[in-house]
Amino acid sequence: MDLLRRPTVLPLRKKPKMMDASFSFCNYEIKFKEIVLFLLERKMGASRRNFLMNLARKRGFQIESELRDSVTHIVAENNSGPEVLEWLQSKQQSKKMEFEILDISWFTECMGAGFPVEIQSRHQLMVQQDCSASFNTSPSSSCVQVSQYACQRRTPLQDINQIFTDAFEILAENCEFLGNKELCKSFLRASAVLKSLRFPIATMKDLDGLPLLGNEMKTIIEEILEDGKCARVLDVINGERYKSFKLFTSIFGVGLKTSEKWFRMGFRTLEEIKNNPEFKFTKMQKYGFLHYEDITSYISKSEALEIYDFVRDIILKLVPDAVVTLTGGFRRGKERGHDVDIIITCPRKEKEKSILHNTITILKNQGLILFYDINESTFVETKLPSKKVDALDHFQKCFIIFKLVKEGVGATNIKDNEMESKNWKAVRVDFVITPYKQYAYALLGWTGSRQFERDLRRYATNEKKMMLDNHGLFDKTKNVFLDAYTEEDIFEHLGLEYLEPWDRNA
């Protein structure tokens, strides 16, 4: 019996504990020395205050547990300006007014941005603020409404509930390795809800009214609030199966089925697999092993843009009116990633079909391709969008290991025997070629995030009686495909407010 399996429903603990203000794994660097914060405990509560103080320290802010002369910013929650002044008078601080008195919304925006944001009039506590001014920034506000669909929530890159979302995503990944797809989806949906919040979860009361958080998720959150960690998560990450699958699937060209096979054969390290003479690897896997260190390391946004600009210049010389777009996490604002996704199309019908092979030929001639695998289009124009939210698309694609030369991607005729004095880096690059009519749908799908796309398709099916995939949108009530030439067109067809790519990090 698999020791990693757990019951799907766990009882809630009955005795919540307060988080200690000193709860921390390390000392944090002070990044913003000109600002000293003080959080007013009045109406906030000790547990939530302690949690927020620790969060601020992690972000590099100075924060005092007592009101001192060094304090520059007082932050209050659910207090009016006069109420804060009354409290200050009770502490004999009414004469010292050299600090800003601010609503918690300013603090949460700072935590989300990772730096002190500009103070605006809506942040200043001179009068009681309207409920609308703090929408989705305070857990105690009756205005907070969170949709069950990620496509109806703004989710920026900064995740102020990462201690919980990391736990959910580890458990989701483990469920995927175990083949438990439904529980995997449940953990990912719960994680996505917490990522969209503009306030950090500090008490179990903060979860009131939030969707997709069942007893199992709440038990995990409660344990982390109490202990700063979750025993179940620790069991998973220390488990032999999880560690093996995590390692095996990091190899380019290795999926869950191959990982399962290797694990059942008793292999636990890459060396054991590589040194086994009986193994016959695919060409993709061979190059995955050969360039493992590079491929599994992060690439920066500047490196991604360097590759994108270089490829785009080649394509525009071939087809001057081509449209070349960097997608994936970099389009959503990420500063680093594991691969580079580029979508290519052309307004002239059928003209996009010649782009991929010609581009690959040029890159090969310049010695900048270490490996490539072209998948030709299998799209059928009359085919309805897939009912499966994770269905793959049928575009022409090329999966590449690109040779990014460190002193500049434009260096040509790179020799293949440079391993001893290596001046380049192997980078995963995906080209996706789309007909112009399907470009907007492909761009939306390849931009991600994965959970955003899942919920967008789920929303289309459940709420609009439509079918959406990377090729198009079909209205079942009218029995018609809906044309779209921009992402905004697709959101409008679905009756959704348009969300910029940087708000789709679910």
Confidence of residue 97 (pLDDT cuts 50, 70, 90): low
Same domain as 105, residue 39: yes
pLDDT digits (tens, 9 = 90+) for 451-485: 999 999 999 999 999 999 999 999 999 999 999 99
Does residue 294 have a known ligand-binding role?
Answer: no
Same domain as 113, residue 64: yes
Domain total for the chain?
4
Q: Considering the domain boundaries, does residue 123 fall inside one? A: yes
Q: Considering the domain boundaries, does residue 203 fall inside one? A: yes
pLDDT value of residue 421: 67
Mean pLDDT of 142-148: 69
Among candidate residues 341, 393, 455, 469, the one labeled active-site is 341
Same domain as 489, residue 376: no
pLDDT digits (tens, 9 = 90+) for 173-207: 999 999 999 999 999 999 999 999 988 999 999 99
pLDDT value of residue 45: 81
Same domain as 128, residue 63: yes
Same domain as 226, residue 201: yes
The dihedral formed by the CA atoms of 393, 394, 399 and 404, expressed in degrees to the nearest 10: -70
pLDDT value of residue 281: 94
Among candidate residues 339, 455, 469, 503, the one labeled active-site is 339
Mean pLDDT of 40-62: 87
The residue written with tokens 């900064």 in the block is 158
341 is catalytic: yes
- Residue 75: is its pLDDT beyond 80? yes
378's CB contacts (< 8 A; 6+ apart) are 394
Does residue 339 have a known ligand-binding role?
Answer: yes
CB hemisphere CA count around 477 (13 angstroms): 7
- Residue 131: is its pLDDT beyond 80? no
pLDDT value of residue 95: 46
Write out the DSSP string of 389-451. TT-----EEEEEEEEEETT-TT--S--S--STT--EEEEEEEEEE--GGGHHHHHHHHH--HH
20 is catalytic: no
209: domain CATH number is 1.10.150.110
Mean pLDDT is lowest, of 11-20, 255-264, 317-326, 380-389, for 11-20
Mean pLDDT of 362-366: 98
Among candidate residues 166, 235, 430, 489, the one labeled active-site is 430
Residues 51, 49: Cα–Cα separation, whole Å: 5
What helix, strand, coil percent values describe the chain, rounded to 5?
Answer: 40, 15, 45
Same domain as 83, residue 160: no
Confidence of residue 104 (pLDDT cuts 50, 70, 90): confident
pLDDT value of residue 308: 97
Same domain as 351, residue 316: yes
Confidence of residue 271 (pLDDT cuts 50, 70, 90): very high
138's CB contacts (< 8 A; 6+ apart) are 77, 78, 104, 105, 108, 144, 199
Coil, strand, or helix at residue 58? helix
Mean pLDDT of 361-377: 98
Q: Give me the residues paired with residue 375 across strands.
A: 397
74: domain CATH number is 3.40.50.10190
pLDDT value of residue 394: 95
Phi, psi of 482 (to 5 degrees): -105, 120
Range of the domain at 461: 445-503
- Residue 410: is its pLDDT beyond 70? no
SS (H, E, C) 216-228: HHHHHHHHHHHHC
498: domain CATH number is 3.30.210.10
Does residue 321 have a known ligand-binding role?
Answer: no
Q: Is 199 exposed, middle or buried (0-12, 13-18, 19+ CB in 10 A)?
A: buried
Mean pLDDT of 50-70: 89
Write out the DSSP string of 306-327. HHHHHHHHHHHHH-TT-EEEE-
Mean pLDDT of 351-371: 97
339 is catalytic: yes
Mean pLDDT of 405-424: 61
**Whole-number average pLDDT of the chain:** 87
200's CB contacts (< 8 A; 6+ apart) are 51, 52, 55, 108, 111, 160, 161
pLDDT value of residue 21: 35
Q: What is the pTM of this model?
A: 0.73
Same domain as 125, residue 66: yes
